[in-house]
Amino acid sequence: MSRATMKLLFAAVLAATAVSGEALAQRVTIVTNQQGSLAYSAGAALAKVMNEKLGTQARIQPTGGSSTFYPLLNRGEAQYGFSSALETLFAQTGTGTYEGKPLPNLRVVAEVFDLFQALFVANDSPVKKQSDIKGLKIGGTFTSQKIVTYTQNALLANAGLKPSDMIEVPVTNANGAINGVGAGRIDTSFGPPGSGVVQNAHAALSSHGGIRFLPIDTSPEALRRMREVIPMASAFMLKPRKNLPGILSEIPVMAYPFALVAGKDTPDEQVYQLVKMMYANKAALAKAFPAYGRFNPKNMARMKQGEFHPGAIRFYKEAGIWTR
């Protein structure tokens, strides 16, 4: 064998080894909202467990919000992201915040857990119930995260209020509104109890006793108004816990599904292995981020809204939880 041939063979072996190593350590990008958001924490926890259990090289890419990162998933420039069931439905169908601008390549991977939302104020505020916020300053515009206007409007509707009843302060996303309360620029905001940005607002208002969440109205009429904005919303009784500042007593909050989504070009086998790993590793996920404590593997295929990824469907059929 000539020296030239040996060099070619050696180069081929090196190339094959590199490709094999690449396959074993798949590079995965999870796009999320800004650092401190619930989506960021959920994504960081998932990346950590993926790397430990699947040997991937998963990384987090925070963005201004889902209005920014959903197009990245649609174009195949990232593999996974987190958002509400409502936004996923809007994006796939070209309705709501995506009116006339559908993102047909998005696919649902899993329902992860219910996302809790409620309005909050400084603890020493005279506001005692949701309807008391009428005429106060609240975040508005949400230029990089349009979907959260539905969250805010659903809570206002539950209180019998409209955006025109409030003084809107322009912000780019939900974090901007929550931080605005912490800085005293905004009087009230919605927020997911226990998220990093909400905990920061609580700390910033320590001289005011922190923050205090306001219970939603659970009367049939108030729930009907809320569901006119977010059809899949429900009421959930949330109990005080150490990691839930502002939940001072058991109160009803708004809940709706929070989903893991992907682009259709994310490989079927990769998605299959991911949901299989999630199904078997609730404890590891919850250790990485406590919100996964309310993750129910049996509910991963429960969402009725949106088209699922075929890799996920394959596992859900094997697990006996696919009912469509």
What confidence score (pLDDT) does residue 129 get? 96
CA distance 101 to 212: 38
Q: 211 forms bridges with which residues in the sheet?
A: 122
Give Cβ neighbours of residue 125 (< 8 Å, ≥ 6 apart).
Answer: 187, 208, 212
* Per-residue tokens: 267: 């490989």
CA distance 189 to 177: 6
H or E element: which one contains 57?
strand 57-62
Flag whether pLDDT at 280 surpasses 90.
yes
Residue 98 half-sphere exposure toward CB, CA atoms < 13 A: 21
Flag whether pLDDT at 8 surpasses 80.
no
Flag whether pLDDT at 287 surpasses 80.
yes
Q: Which of 10-14, 33-37, 155-159, 272-276 comes out lowest in average pLDDT?
A: 10-14
Domains in the chain: ranges and CATH? 3-115+258-319 (3.40.190.10), 116-256 (3.40.190.10)
Helix (H, G, I), strand (E, B) or coil at 140: strand
What confidence score (pLDDT) does residue 305 get? 80
CA distance 149 to 140: 8
pLDDT tens column, 34-79: 888 889 999 999 999 999 999 999 999 999 888 889 999 999 999 9
Q: What is the largest CA-CA distance in the chain?
A: 88
Q: Are residues 202 and 240 in contact, defined by beta-carbon separation less than 8 angstroms?
A: no
Flag whether pLDDT at 25 surpasses 60.
no
Q: Are residues 243 and 101 in contact, defined by beta-carbon separation less than 8 angstroms?
A: no
Nearest to 192 by CA among 138, 122, 120: 120
Q: Are residues 109 and 80 in contact, defined by beta-carbon separation less than 8 angstroms?
A: yes
The pTM assigned to this predicted structure is 0.79
